[in-house]
Chain A
């Protein structure tokens, strides 16, 4: 296979941060089970609680609010299924499947053309129902980068006695989590989306409402998630979140933003290119690019063959590129099937961006020649 030139699919998974690698390797050599009473167990528990405190400090919350899970999907599922008892579940139309499919009968709330939740629709839905609601709104969208009006949605939720769950897996290292942490009842985070290892996530319980567990087992994680904690993945997660947040605040986010602007400027002159959600506040690393007339799947394949990793739609476990429910919900029509997502990792370089621009321009020219 040809040489790999640029991995611009960070929203699928971020490259491992060195702090996370070091923490995981150190934890691998710790034999104890954090639940055991002996010295080995105490050492393991010390590591686990240290990780919890480290992560909580990085996020500005209390350690007791952090509950480790096996990943972002499980954190979302636990929060939503675990809080849904007696509550209607309202989810925005562009939520990830981890949220949309957490319960079977969620009500879908519409978004505008930029992918932002319709606050009017939310207010109407909250006012309509007899039973209290659980509202699920992501911090920022994985495909378009669109940042949701969390504060406004939270105010509506408070007014109607509804709970707010925020899927913030795309946030760390990119945008501040503080405003959402201040108003959400629960929040889901993923380790590997922040430069940690796959296999850990966290459910932050920020308000009074405590979800019922999905996995009871031995009652670990304050009864919210049974099962022996995967220490290497958890240690790596705490290190990654802390490192990502520090990196963001010391120029990292601005650097990503400049690289993203370089891409936007680079594709501006190519006929048929549309930047999706250009009018919304978006993640500094995420750019959704539509190329009129070119199937998203073809673009992803063509770029992959040219050594560039990007994505389209949501990756199904079968590997097929399905149609994007996110872009369809935004009312983009045919363009919904013609957009790719470029998401810059924390390691992104100008050289990678330029390699992408060259490959993208060549692909667009070839597809345009064929259409002519």
Chain B
């Protein structure tokens, strides 16, 4: 089979390429150049491609497979980085990895794979593709601690059959063991951290550059409107946050949490933990990986990457998913609400601010 492997230069996708080649497939490695690495790390003279692209090419050359670097800088800037900053400016907490998967990897790259006559696109995501009776389905990874299915909910259902996630059945240890067995040049490379396009870690500076209003100071207020202090810009806070609130971290004896961010007034409303949970929420830009449900759907829902799904009911009105959690949960606008039936991903959407 002719297969395109999305190679980031990390251990995971390198192992995917190596295993595919080992299995006798015709492997075409493609690395997306998403941003100017030299500019991102702010180091003059640093290569525009950075170490990861170098590593991906080394792995491909070692494996003897074709490898290409696609220039996606402009696309990534518009579809992911700008969206990231815009989302913060709206008082949301964005998930750029979902946008990158949705708008670049499983859109543009998938088109390129089809244009090249490939029969599949494989990536190093930790998720599984299973055969359900209604067709190919997305499911959580065998290694639950590594599961990335949450970030893949926006994949188009009709594309699932074209995708391969060979690491979905493997633990990270097994992946590393394979990298060592295959003597890949990246076998000892540490896992990537945080947000790829802000390697220095200061995403707030980047947001401030693109959307200065998201970095402007504003008031911390209580639910009843008392001002507790000054915050350092919406981009630095997310719903549920209790750290870094400064003077607003306590109201009397009560520990405060961010309840919501109001872009219009630039106010951040804080309150006790008890005020944080909500049972009803809505999600937009919904993508279904099953036939869109006509009746209320009993499922579990996951509202942030690092939590286990909780029982919920989802009502789909053709545009918006109305989610009712069985127990109060923290919902940050901009994050994804992803719906599961056991291991299977049913669909999901982006959490909207309460009207």
For chain A residues 280-312, which have a beta carbon within 8 Å of chain B?
Answer: 294-295, 297-298, 300-302, 304-305
Given contacts A1-B64, A297-B70, contact A318 B112 (CB under 8 A): no
Contact present for A304 and B49 (CB under 8 Å): no
Say if the beta carbon of A161 comes within 8 Å of chain B.
no
Tell me which residues across on chain B come within 8 A of A323, comparing CB atoms: 71
Task: Give Cα A322 to B68, complex, Å.
Answer: 12
Interface of B is mostly: mixed
Say if the beta carbon of A125 comes within 8 Å of chain B.
no
Tell me which residues across on chain B come within 8 A of A295, comparing CB atoms: 112
Task: Give Cα A312 to B274, complex, Å.
Answer: 60
Nearest A-chain residue to B115, judged by Cβ: A298
Say if the beta carbon of B231 comes within 8 Å of chain A.
no
Nearest A-chain residue to B72, judged by Cβ: A320
Contact present for A304 and B69 (CB under 8 Å): no
B: interface residue count bin: 20 to 34
Say if the beta carbon of A333 comes within 8 Å of chain B.
no
Contact present for A301 and B68 (CB under 8 Å): yes
| Interface residues in A, total, Cβ within 8 A | 21
Contact present for A318 and B47 (CB under 8 Å): yes
Task: Give Cα A52 to B258, complex, Å.
Answer: 76
Nearest A-chain residue to B65, judged by Cβ: A1
Given contacts A305-B28, A319-B57, contact A370 B49 (CB under 8 A): no
List of 3 A-B pairs having minimum Cβ-Cβ separation, nearest first: A318-B49, A320-B69, A319-B69
Chain B 56-92: CB-based contact to A (< 8 A → 1; otherwise 0):
0100000011111111000000000000000000000
Task: Name B71's contact: one of A1, A304, A321 (CB within 8 Å).
Answer: A321
Contact present for A366 and B57 (CB under 8 Å): no
Task: Give Cα A366 to B70, complex, Å.
Answer: 20
Task: Name B112's contact: one of A301, A316, A366 (CB within 8 Å).
Answer: A301
Task: Give Cα A302 to B66, complex, Å.
Answer: 11
Tell me which residues across on chain B come within 8 A of A318, comparing CB atoms: 33, 47-49, 53, 69
Tell me which residues across on chain A come within 8 A of B114, comparing CB atoms: 370
Say if the beta carbon of A3 comes within 8 Å of chain B.
no
Contact present for B115 and A304 (CB under 8 Å): no
Task: Name A320's contact: one of B49, B64, B65, B115 (CB within 8 Å).
Answer: B49
Tell me which residues across on chain B come within 8 A of A297, comparing CB atoms: 68, 70-71, 112
A294-B115, A297-B71, A317-B49 given. 18 additional CB < 8 A pairs? A1-B64, A298-B112, A298-B115, A300-B68, A301-B116, A302-B116, A304-B66, A305-B66, A316-B49, A318-B48, A318-B49, A320-B69, A320-B71, A321-B70, A321-B71, A322-B71, A323-B71, A366-B117
For chain B residues 241-272, which have a beta carbon within 8 Å of chain A?
Answer: none
Chain B: minimal CB distance from A151 (Å): 37
Task: Name B48's contact: one of A302, A316, A321, A366 (CB within 8 Å).
Answer: A316
Tell me which residues across on chain A come within 8 A of B112, comparing CB atoms: 295, 297-298, 301
For chain B residues 207-260, which have a beta carbon within 8 Å of chain A?
Answer: none
Task: Give Cα A301 to B4, complex, Å.
Answer: 12
Tell me which residues across on chain A come within 8 A of B65, comparing CB atoms: 1
Task: Give Cα A318 to B33, complex, Å.
Answer: 9
Say if the beta carbon of A215 comes within 8 Å of chain B.
no
Nearest B-chain residue to A302, judged by Cβ: B116
Tell me which residues across on chain A come within 8 A of B116, comparing CB atoms: 298, 301-302, 305
Chosen A-B contacts, 18 in total, with CB atoms closer than 8 Å, are: A1-B66, A298-B112, A301-B66, A301-B116, A302-B117, A304-B68, A305-B28, A305-B116, A318-B33, A319-B49, A319-B53, A319-B57, A319-B69, A320-B33, A321-B68, A321-B69, A321-B71, A366-B117
Say if the beta carbon of A275 comes within 8 Å of chain B.
no
For chain B residues 17-54, which have a beta carbon within 8 Å of chain A?
Answer: 28, 33, 47-49, 53
Say if the beta carbon of A264 comes within 8 Å of chain B.
no
Chain A: minimal CB distance from B119 (Å): 13
